[in-house]
Amino acid sequence: MDDFEMLVETIKTQIDKVKDLDEVEKIRVATLGKNGNITSLMKKISTLPQEERANFGKKVNDLKMQIEKLLSEKTSVLKAEVLKSKSLERSIDLTIPGPLRSVGKIHVINHVINECVEVFSKMGFNVVEGPEIENVYYNFEALNTPQWHPARDLHDTFYISETLLLRTHTSPVQIRTMENQKPPIRIISAGRVYRNDYDATHLPSFFQMEGLAIDRNISIADLKGTLENAIKTLLGKDKIVRFRPHYFPFTEPSVEVDVSFAGKKEWLEVLGAGMVHPNVLRNVGFDPEKWQGFAFGMGIERIAMLKYGINDIREFPRNYLKFLRLF
């Protein structure tokens, strides 16, 4: 082995041991750099006698090329390793189980509303909507509700201004509908209503479903038949439905409807209803001699209470997940 071969071998073992790009650079500087040993060999060429130059120069050049090749090979190997470890760091392990995602469900109130919509749709009622912030005119005046009525009291109703309030029932939708549709009319409308009440069977914000049917020759028999059929379809044929005389300014005659619960020992009022008052028809420009109708307003939470045996209406707005998951 001559000096050149030995030099190659030494540098080669050095390069083999190298573990990072910094070390490669150090070796490059030590060999091919300005003051590197290969560089100084190159410089030596010109100092040699003419006849030795060609042979020596070729050997140094070979050496230089070998070292360059070794260094560049090592550089690519190290660069590839760096890339690989970086992409491993960033990669996704498909074998790790994913996070558990719990599937939500429809809220019990919406569920009951949907069921009511289904039952009344089958009897020919269409769904309409109305605003929760209502005009005093639609909430009271147009519904023949005089100033002296307790529902209009400041203590019972959430007023926003003198003319605006949070609707106390869904009945204003009756007026809005009759202003926009010609009879015959059959509509239902569900949504939030607001009253200053709070106990086991009353909430300050609860849900009602309004119903209105206007046609020729509608009688209280239609009202009774429709409501009895709907309630028994919703709650079961075994339920007893009781019609109790009542007073509403916007219906005449008026009834409240109770349903048996707690093993038929008790009654729970589920809706108010009646034959649309002639004044209400006049207020929307319908001739009471030609058109009659019935209307009802049903408490959605009350239906849910009967359906699932819930004793306290305050469970609904608590949003306690254990409760909500029961249905």
Give the integer Cα–Cα distance in Å for 262 and 124. Answer: 32
- Residue 277 touches ligand PHE, criterion: CB under 6 A: no
- Residue 274 touches ligand PHE, criterion: CB under 6 A: yes
Please give the residues from 209 up to 268 whose contact with ligand PHE meets the rule CB under 6 A.
248, 251, 254
Instruction: Report how far apart, in Å, the C-alpha atoms of 321 and of each of 98, 106, 160, 192, 318 are.
Output: 24, 12, 33, 21, 9
- Residue 296 touches ligand PHE, criterion: CB under 6 A: yes
Choose between 108 and 213: whose C-beta lies nearer to ligand PHE: 213
Sketch the per residue contact string, 178 through 197, with ligand PHE: x for CB under 6 A, - otherwise.
Answer: --------------------
**Minimum distance from CB of 302 to ligand PHE (Å)?**
11
| The binder of ligand PHE chosen from 188, 273, 304, 310 (CB under 6 A) | 273
Token couple for 296: 């009802």
Give exposure, 111-121, as e/b (b: 16+ Cβ within 10 Å). Answer: ebbebbbebbe
**Minimum distance from CB of 155 to ligand PHE (Å)?**
17
| The binder of ligand PHE chosen from 169, 176, 186, 302 (CB under 6 A) | 169
- Residue 297 touches ligand PHE, criterion: CB under 6 A: yes
**Minimum distance from CB of 273 to ligand PHE (Å)?**
5
Interacting span for ligand PHE (CB under 6 A) from 7-15, 83-91, 129-137, 292-300 = 292-300
**Minimum distance from CB of 213 to ligand PHE (Å)?**
11
- Residue 172 touches ligand PHE, criterion: CB under 6 A: no
Give the integer Cα–Cα distance in Å for 178 and 284. Answer: 6
Q: Which residue has the tokens 């959430």?
A: 158
How many residues bind ligand PHE (CB under 6 A)? The answer is: 11
Residue nearest to ligand PHE (CB): 297
Token couple for 52: 């030795």
| The binder of ligand PHE chosen from 67, 136, 166, 295 (CB under 6 A) | 295
**Minimum distance from CB of 202 to ligand PHE (Å)?**
12
| The binder of ligand PHE chosen from 7, 130, 144, 272 (CB under 6 A) | 272
Per CB under 6 A, residues contacting ligand PHE are 169, 171, 248, 251, 254, 272-274, 295-297
